[in-house]
Amino acid sequence: MTLFAVTRLELRRLFVRPLGWTIAALALAELGWRFALLLQIFLLNQVRLAALPDGPGYTDLVAVRLYSSLITGSTLPFGVTELALLLVPLLTMSTLASERNSGTLPLLFSTGLSPSSILLGKYLAVLIWLTLWLLSVIVLPASVAHGVKLDWGMLGAATLGTFLALAVLAAIGVACSAFASHPAVAAVAAFMIGVALNCVNLGAQLAGVNIGFINWLAMSTHQENLLRGLVSSADVIWFLLAIIVALALGIRRLAADGERG
Amino acid sequence: MNAPNPALPPVLQLEQVTRNRAGRPAVRDLSLRLHAGQILGLLGVNGAGKSTTLSLIAGALVPDRGAIRLLGKDFLEQPELARQALGWLPEAAPLWPELTLREHLNAHGRLRGLTGIRLKEAGDAVLERLELKDLAQRLAGVLSQGQRQRLGLACALLHRPALLVLDEPANALDPVQVVALRNLLRELAAAGTAVILSTHQLSEVTAVCDRVAILHEGVLRYDEPLPADQHAALEKKFFDIALHGKAQAT
């Protein structure tokens, strides 16, 4: 299928550009430092925690906290989700905006590919890149699994939640790249939409107001359940809906390119 | 001129194609036929609608009205036809600067449905034919303009299309490369490929084309076979249309 030809082309472009490697290296370095600090704090409090009945363990205090700072209430900055808010737009900004800038987008259209094949092919490539990045992050908490009691079920749910959050941010990033005429504009737009979607309920929460719809709208609400180990179809459906809406808007914009020129 | 075979449908057929851009018609009621082995030169001043016409033929733009048929089939209803039947070199050969020449050919080949050994052989053949073999592992971003143009041509030729659409193919080529390009186009036409090329240079058309079409303000003003040694007559016709807008519609 030529959709996979687009995926292969985009993956190749992602892997040969220094930006992708720089992003991955800086993010892994920050997460490694975060993991070391979380592990140190856990080890210092291990005796006290062991005395608590049903107290939090390694999975709650180290592994899951690696995924998000904001949601888990960690005092250390930048978990995977917070880093992704910044890094995913940088990764996705060139997917379509630079093709439009350099004139290669009409070439893709001339191969008979539909706008949906082009956009989904590119989205799939970004998703593969992000999956590899997430797998390399999981290695950190799993590396000490032999010496601690790791709750694989909870880690699995948290990883699923983080993967879905990355998938939503990637869909938003690719859609913004489809709309923007310049990669930098796409990155800024994707960053702002990602932050807004993640924190839309924060103001209401700080004010002590519980507004159901705003809470439902926020990505953090749904990711929080998964980070706690609770996998519910309602949360998974929210993520899928967000991905579908973002990609559908992107496809619509790309189709207009062929019609408007 | 290669005589068209009446038993075969034309490789390309445009019927009353109209396309508006920025609120005004860039191409108006354009009808055109091109048979296997023909080389059509598309002439016109800047803004005449040449690039829009080629983008429409290449499938990069959708016409507002009219039909485009490729090998007798409606191109808009079966866009996948383009995968095998069409090769396109847009103006200024758009490339991915971070990829090597070989990676460009592999990407274009896969997008056109070539895989495995067929892709490798087709890539080797065009690199050899366009004298790019020594540059196969070089990044496209560091190529000269002439090399970029030849790479764009290689990508368009890779899958041996029935119709080759070229927008200013001689741009940035040195005189030796221009002659090589002319020879290549003649060779392709002799093998049955239909070629449509847009250019500003009348000499390009008289040197290689067996038919000429002149667009002016989006309208086809002239479409005739081009007998040998007709440079002076073509030059007069072109300037009549470009400067005074007068010509007999065909």
State how far residue A6 is from chain B, nearest Cα, in angstroms.
7
Collect contacts of A19-22 with beta carbons under 8 A, ≥24 apart: A19/A90, A19/A91, A20/A91, A20/A129
Average pLDDT over residues A68-92: 84
Segment A95-147, tens digit of pLDDT: 999 998 888 999 999 888 899 999 999 999 999 999 999 999 999 988 888 87
Number of domains, chain B: 1
In this structure, of A70-74, A156-160, B39-43, B134-138, the range with the lowest mean pLDDT score is A70-74
- B1 lies in some domain: no
Nearest to B60 among A8, A102, A110 (CB): A110
Q: Which domain holds residue B41?
A: 12-244
pLDDT score recorded for residue B249: 44
CA distance A234 to A215: 13
- Asked whether the ipTM of the predicted complex exceeds the cut of 0.90, the reply is no
Local confidence band at A57 (pLDDT 50, 70, 90 cut-offs): confident
Cross-strand bridge partners of residue B215:
B220
Task: Inspect the interface and report whether the beta carbons of B58 and A110 lie closer than 8 Å.
Answer: yes
Instruction: Specify if B250 maps to a domain.
Output: no
Average pLDDT by consecutive 10-residue portion of chain B (250 residues)? 66 93 87 94 90 92 91 84 88 91 95 92 94 93 92 95 93 86 93 92 86 92 80 72 62
- The model's pLDDT over B118-148, given as tens digits with 9 standing for 90+, comes to 999 999 999 999 999 999 999 999 999 899 9
Nearest neighbour of B99 by CB, restricted to A13, A114, A258: A13
CB contact under 8 A, A110 and B113: no
Closest to B111 (Cβ–Cβ): which among A5, A13, A103? Answer: A5
Interatomic CA distance for residues B71 and B8, integer angstroms:
9
Nearest Cα residue to B148 out of B95, B88, B91, B199: B95
B217 located within any domain = yes
Mutate to test the interface with A, among B98, B115, B149 (most CBs of A within 10 A): B98
User: What does the alpha-carbon distance between residue B147 and residue B139 come to, in Å, rounded to a whole number?
Assistant: 11
Q: What is the pLDDT of residues A229-247, one digit of tens each?
A: 889 999 999 999 999 999 9
Domain assignment of residue B7, yes or no: no
CB A113 within 8 A of CB B111: yes
**Which chain A residues have a beta carbon less than 8 Å from that of B79?**
112-114
Number of residues that this document lists for chain A: 261
**Mean pLDDT, residues A157-182:** 95
Residue-wise DSSP of A131-197 = HHHHHHHHHHHHTTTTTS---HHHHHHHHHHHHHHHHHHHHHHHHHHHH-SSHHHHHHHHHHHHHHH
Strands B73-74 and B86-89: unpaired
- Identity (one letter) of the amino acid at B40? L
Domain ranges (residues) in chain A:
2-260
Q: For B2, which DSSP code?
A: P
Q: Where residue B172 sits, what CATH number does that domain have?
A: 3.40.50.300
Closest-CA distance of chain B to residue A15, Å: 10
d(CA B17, CA B13): 10
Residue B162, min C-alpha distance to chain A (Å): 14
Give the pLDDT band (50/70/90) at residue A78: confident
Which residue in the set A102, A109, A114 is minimally distant from B60, CB to CB?
A109
Structure tokens at B87: 């090769």
- Does B30 reside within a domain? yes
- Rounded to an integer, the average pLDDT of A171-197 is 95
Written in H, E and C, the secondary structure of B135-199 is: HCCCEHHHCCHHHHHHHHHHHHHCCCCCEEEEECCCCCCCHHHHHHHHHHHHHHHHCCCEEEEEC
**Which residues of chain B neighbour A16 with C-beta distances below 8 Å?**
98-99
B55 vs A contacts (CB less than 8 Å): 106, 261
* Residues B145/B113, Cβ–Cβ less than 8 Å: no
**CB pair distance less than 8 Å for B98 and A258:** no
Closest residue, chain A, to B141 (C-alpha): A102
Residue A89 confidence (pLDDT) above 90: yes
Tell me the two tokens of residue A255.
């189709």
Is residue A232 within 8 Å of A225, Cβ to Cβ?
yes
- B106 within some domain: yes
Model pLDDT, residue B242: 75
